[in-house]
Amino acid sequence: MKMPFSRYCLGLLVPILLLAGCGEKAGDTSTAAAAAPEVKTYEWKMVTSWPKNFPGLGRAPETFAEYVNKMSNGRLKVKVYGAGELVPGFEVFDAVSQGSVQMGHAAAYYWKGKAPAAQLFGAIPFGMNAQELNAWFYYGGGLELWREVYAPFNIIPFPGGNTGVQMAGWFKKEINSVDDLKGLKMRIPGLGGEVLKKLGGIPVSMPGGELFTALQSGAIDATEWVGPYNDLAFGLNKAADYYYYSGWHEAGTALEFMVNKDAYESLPKDLQAIIDVATQAVDLDMLNEYTARNNEALDTLVKREGVDVRPLPEDVMSALKKATKEVLAEQAAADPVFARVYESYKAFYDRVKAYHQISELEYYLNRQ
């Protein structure tokens, strides 16, 4: 039986139209792919003042890099270098400022020779704790002042973690009076070192990785570092017999992320926002980690290692407090930028201290 011509033509036409449609779709896809903009990626280097992957301090920049990589879907990758891998720990500021690397992680008081006011963003003896310091940064104008201080160096700073209240440190001899501080060679940075000097001590500045050897060899008589978590990791208990508290010199030590301004401004806005958020996440995470780990490490030091943990005598604390007021007044008189930043710090400190006197402190006393 013969197929009608109209049906025969229709049978040929349908496959032809289908093939034409498929060809058009394929053409659309290739055209769209060709028109899609290429995704730009960025590869940054971050140098730090800490040994690579050191607990707490050294892990914070690694955590930051992981957050940024995930949130940016690989568009911004940050490779972290420990102290000495690319630059020494005390040359992080210069490396970021000059743009030889895009980022750094360190402590602001290391740069007192470049900008005396930088010390105020790290820790002040008998000053604000971690909670109070972060409040000043984010809600009291502290971060704006910090960025103003670093602006001449082409650096944008971000809070980058906090260790909480530190220990007073490790000593090779007992501290029974203020006289025991005279001639004492102690690794202690920033304003704490200036206070020790005023009482006859000899402050020494050195990176964390050198502490154990210096203390064990007698190159220094004492050292502060951070607290039980990090001190145990360095084995400082094997180099000194006496472990004193509390950390008068650093009640809440703020760490910092530093970003080269040109590198930051070269990023699209969404990647800038990712950096902003990732620094805040690490800032909180570090304090959480130290709060959890310090008590565990102290338990190990006392019960397993037999460490002698002692409070500094009251007369020593009183002398340190008096010397602190003198040092701060001298620093403010010598540098107008320091004076202006300290005025903001002190105003916020006085207000928050008054409130915490009837809230945090009362609670601590009542919960005993």
Local confidence band at 36 (pLDDT 50, 70, 90 cut-offs):
low
b (16+ CB within 10 A) / e for 85-120: ebbebbbbbebbbeeebbbbbbbbbbbbeebbbbbb
Mean pLDDT of the chain: 92
Supply the CATH number for residue 107's domain.
3.40.190.170
Question: Is it the case that residue 32 has pLDDT exceeding 60?
Answer: no
| The pLDDT of residue 98 | 98
Range of the domain at 279: 42-161+252-292
- Across the range 145-151, mean pLDDT stands at 98
Question: Is it the case that residue 219 has pLDDT exceeding 70?
Answer: yes
Whole-angstrom distance, CA of residue 23 vs CA of residue 46:
50
DSSP string, 147-203: HHHHGGGTEEEEEEEE--S---EEESS---SGGGGTT-EEE--HHHHHHHHHTT-EE
Query: Over the stretch 266-294, which tens digit does the pLDDT of each residue have?
Result: 999 999 999 999 999 999 999 999 999 99
Would you say residue 2 lies in a domain?
no
Question: Is it the case that residue 26 has pLDDT exceeding 90?
Answer: no
Question: Is it the case that residue 1 has pLDDT exceeding 90?
Answer: no
Would you say residue 363 lies in a domain?
no
Least confident interval from 7-16, 20-29, 30-39, 192-201: 7-16
Percent of the chain clearing pLDDT 90 (strictly above): 88
Query: Over the stretch 86-104, which tens digit does the pLDDT of each residue have?
Result: 999 999 999 999 999 999 9
Would you say residue 152 lies in a domain?
yes
Would you say residue 264 lies in a domain?
yes
Cβ atoms 198, 323 nearer than 8 A? yes
Would you say residue 263 lies in a domain?
yes
Would you say residue 221 lies in a domain?
no
34 or 237, which is more confident? Answer: 237
Would you say residue 31 lies in a domain?
no
Number of domains in the chain: 1
Whole-angstrom distance, CA of residue 285 vs CA of residue 290:
9
Would you say residue 16 lies in a domain?
no
Cβ atoms 345, 120 nearer than 8 A? yes
Local confidence band at 34 (pLDDT 50, 70, 90 cut-offs):
low
Question: Is it the case that residue 17 has pLDDT exceeding 70?
Answer: no
| The pLDDT of residue 368 | 84
